[in-house]
Every structure is written in C-alpha cells, then in structure tokens.
Structure 1
C-alpha cells in the first residue's frame, strides 16, 4: 500500500517520515575530525536524512575518491563535475579517522570514477589494508560502484577480504536506465554474483539495496528481491526515496510502513539472511548489526 500521490500530498511528509534531530559533542567531534583530515562522507554529500542520528553515535560512512562523480544519477545529490585528483593519502586518513572515532566497524563507499583505469578498485583495496593495519580487530564494509562489470576489479576488492561487499541495485530494471546514469541492471546483478563467487564463505557477506517511491510497482520490487536471491545476496536494505531537490527525479509515492514490513517478511522467506526494510533505512544504516546477523555471529565483526 502507498499513501495518496496527488501533488499536494507528495509535498507533505507523511507522519511515519520523521528525521531525528540530535545535537551534542559527538556530532561536533565527527564534523571536526572530517574537516581536519579533509575527508568526504556520503552522509554530507548525499544529504542522508540519518546524518544526525549516526553522527550522534560517532559513526560515518567515508566516501573515497573525491566529492565529484563521473555519472549523473537523477536521484543522487552528489555533484557531477570533472573528477578530482586521487588523494594517495586518503586510505591512511580514513584509517586515522576510524582510530580517533574508536570505530570497530567501518563503512566505506566512493563516487563513480569511470575516468580511472581501475575504476577505483585499487583505492578500495588500499583502504581496507590501511584499516586492517590500524584496527586489526575491526570490520569493514565496502559499498562499491559497478566497476563497469569487470571481474578482475571486483576480485581486486574481494582479495582484500572486506567483511561485507555491498553494491546497490537502487531500483527495478525498468527504471534503471533513466534513474541510474551509466548503470545497467544486468551488470549490477553480475557484479553481485561475481562477488559471491569470489568471497570466502563465512568471512565476507554480500549486500544490496533499493529505494522505493521512484515509480516502481510492488510487483517490480518483488522481482528485484528474487533476482538478488538468484545472485545469492545475503543482506538487503529497502528505504523510501526522498528527492534531494526539485531538480532530481520526481517522487512517485510514499510507501506505507506495512508494505515495508511485507517486503521484509518476503525477503526472509526467500532466503535473505539479514533485512532492514523501513522508510528511513539507508545502505549503511545499522550496518554492523546486519553483518553480524548475516555472518551468524553475535561477536564483534573482525577483518580477516
């Protein structure tokens, strides 16, 4: 079920969409640290609605390879300009930030860098290695671009043994073209399939996520879930799309909480090991909890 979709209704947030406003020293500390080390976070660049809650808990999702993307997805708030030079010191800076924040689980993503010969895969691997050196008892999740579907680049990242390899489908097959600039539905599924084939069983879980409210039907959502299980994906996130501005892809509907719960039930029934499906869920939200659930341990996740 979905809330009414008249223009006036879409301009008003439904009662179940509420952003937590939290202030305090923890949030200030995170911001100061990011500025001090000259790092980017997807929390800021993508205008994540959960930024206050996560920073209050002293967690952040670090974004590698600059703040400019070589693609221009119509749902995304990240700028699309000429990409910045690669900062060779960035892996070490991310590790330093993790140490200062006393993180035991680190989530790292990046902009698309189609201009680089390795599409950024080597930078991911170097960041994992830097984190392993500084926080050997920690865990790391990577949320990667599609690397143009090149198996050797996916393998390069998996060889560094992240705890979770995440690549988001974002939406259904019909909407992938107009919503995901340069993205292909079949290629993303292929990346996730390759990741599962290359991952060490029991050590690295695979993960993907979608947004709803872009214009997809409930049946199309169910198809994406089944396709992800065909790729043997372990972890799933589903959240409500909220346009960053009027210039971005139009919001089609607000999905009611009961429908998110129904998708969660279906996802578990067809074999996902960990699922978070709710309006305010985003890819990195409570990531460590999901990793523990998928890998079957209540202990702290460790880098291998």
Structure 2
C-alpha cells in the first residue's frame, strides 16, 4: 500500500513525461558495442575541472558510451543552459521539465574550463529552451565570445537546438561565427512522431540550409542514430536532403536505449552496414563522414574538424 506520505516523499522521476511510457525491452548489446569503464587519472582530472566550474556535460547527461575515452583525453562536450530540457524526445536521457533561469556566469565558467583543459577544439551543446524568447541563441553567443576571449586559438563547434518558432535566433548565432555549426536530425522523417515529436524534420533541414545562406564559408554538420526501425532507403534519402542543404559533415551512430522508459532499440546495425553507409555518403558529396556503432556527434570532433578542413581545401584545389 502507498500512503500519501510515501508519495510526497518519493523521489521525483528524472523524466516526468517519460515515466508515463510503458517499459520496453532492452536488447543485449553485441560485442562491437562494448566499451571500457572510465577511471584513468586524466579522466578524473577532467571530471574535477568540470565539477569545479559547476558545468553540465552532455557526456554525463546523455550517458555517452565514449565518456571514458574522451575524458581520458581531456575532451568534454559542454552542455549549456542547464540540465533540464523543455522537450521529451523518446531517445534522450536528459531531464525533462521546466528549466530554471539562465546562469549569467556560465559563459565565463565554460571559457575558464576550456582554458584549463587546454582544448584545441571544443563542442558546445545545449538543452532545448522553448521557454526563452530566442531559444537561448544569445546565450550561445555569449559562450562563444567568452571562449574566444580566453582561448583565441581554440576552434568552436556548436551543436544547437532547432530554434523552432524563434525568429532571428539562428541569424544571431551564425553572426557569432562558430567554426562548425552542428544540428542533428537524429532520425528519418517517418520516425519523428514517435522519436522526436517536438521537432519538425524539414524545419531542421531548412535551418542547416539557412546557415550556408548566411555564411557559405561556415562548416555545417548533422547526425542521425540508426536502429530505431528506419529503412535503409530512408537513410539514403536523408543523405540527399542534407546534401541539398549543402551540409559538409554527416555522423551516423547506433541508438542505445538509456532506460526501459525510452524508445526500444529495434536492432543493432552491424559494422559492415555502417561502412556501407559511409561509402554511399561520400559518393553523395559529403566532405566528411563518420559512421560506426559508437559514432557520436562530438566523438573525435577535434580530429574530425582538421580532416574536414583539409578535405574542403583539397576539393577547392581540385576544382580551382
């Protein structure tokens, strides 16, 4: 029996909206998904810097399988504007609810951490902030400016929300001139209603296209997860849609189910299939493709940025 007192004192669910969903089975991971547990001295040093500056990282919030590898290299993806998202995507492990106010000290705290970690390339992402008039665009700008002030040689990659129904927000962020503008499609359009219900597929495509219209020299990037029940031909069509928007860099990774309340893994895509997607994507004109079971948007982001920059330069040299 549950008394009123028991209910009041019970811990609040991390995902109120997700808690209402029925449990889904969790498939056993194949051998190619296994990763080593984190715990190296450099990992702990990175963790300490993150904690000292009161920062949130998507590495922890999203339960990224690559956290041990990345933090052992002092690579951490900063998640700004809090740890609570206004949307409840069926794949995501970030807390859902009404966020608190923005922290005016966060841009400087992020910049200080980037400086202490000695990052040559940093990825800045955020929760969705539909509660804000500009979706948090100005906060992205302030973070970019603060990093540039402390670490002018550090290249900056931003992974943004879709700024849906936020006129002028995208233009504000592009004007701050990040080195890479990343916005993930996450999945094929037929899965949006169940996987990403708060977003609109063609709005996201248009967002990426608009970045190139505003600044043709800016690198653009997008990524998807597979294993959610999509068909191969849908993934290939998505590639075409991204190339129509002149997106430079595509990432494809395996969806991993965070909890039983999240969308089920329909299947584990084999490494051979990932390699096939990579081959096809390059034939469609992407400058860079990262396609593997453990690929994530910010995994190896610094090395990939250098390869992306070199690939564009080589293509320009060939075409004159």
Is this a same-fold pair by TM over 0.5? Answer: yes
Is 2:72 the counterpart of 1:36? no
TM-score (norm 2): 0.88
Give the superposition deviation at 1:200.
Answer: 4.5
Distance 1:222 1:281, change over 3 A: same
Which runs of structure 2 are paired with 1:200-239 in the superposition (5 Å)? 200-201=216-217, 204-239=218-253
Judge which range, 215-224 or 18-27, deviates more: 18-27
Contact 2:288-2:311 within 8 A present in 1 as well: no
Contact 1:146-1:167 within 8 A present in 2 as well: yes
Give the superposition deviation at 1:298.
Answer: 11
Which runs of structure 2 are paired with 1:6-25 in the superposition (5 Å)? 11-25=27-41
Q: Hey, what does 1:163 align to over in structure 2? A: 179
Is 2:142 the counterpart of 1:123? no
Is 2:139 the counterpart of 1:109? no
Structure 2 residue corresponding to 1:60, chosen from 59, 76, 93: 76
Q: Hey, what does 1:140 align to over in structure 2? A: 156
TM-score (norm 1): 0.92
Q: Hey, what does 2:193 align to over in structure 1? A: 177
Give the superposition deviation at 1:189.
Answer: 0.3
Q: Which has the larger radius of gyration?
A: 2
Judge which range, 27-36 or 51-60, deviates more: 27-36
Q: Which digits, 9 at most, give the CA deviation of each residue in 1:11-67, with x for residues without a partner?
A: 221121111334221111111111111110000101111111100011100000000
Q: Hey, what does 1:253 align to over in structure 2? A: 267
Contact 1:235-1:290 within 8 A present in 2 as well: no
Q: Structure 1 runs of 4+ off > 4 angstroms? A: none
Contact 1:67-1:84 within 8 A present in 2 as well: no
User: Structure 2 regions of 5+ residues with no counterpart?
Assistant: 1-23, 314-320
Q: Hey, what does 1:4 align to over in structure 2? A: none
CA distance in 1, matches of 2:199, 2:95: 17
Is 2:97 the counterpart of 1:97? no
Q: Hey, what does 1:302 align to over in structure 2? A: none
Give aligned pairs, total: 290
Q: Which digits, 9 at most, give the CA deviation of each residue in 1:111-162, with x for residues without a partner?
A: 0000001100000011110111000111000000000154521111111110
CA distance in 2, matches of 1:21, 1:199: 41
Aligned-pair Cα RMSD in Å? 1.7
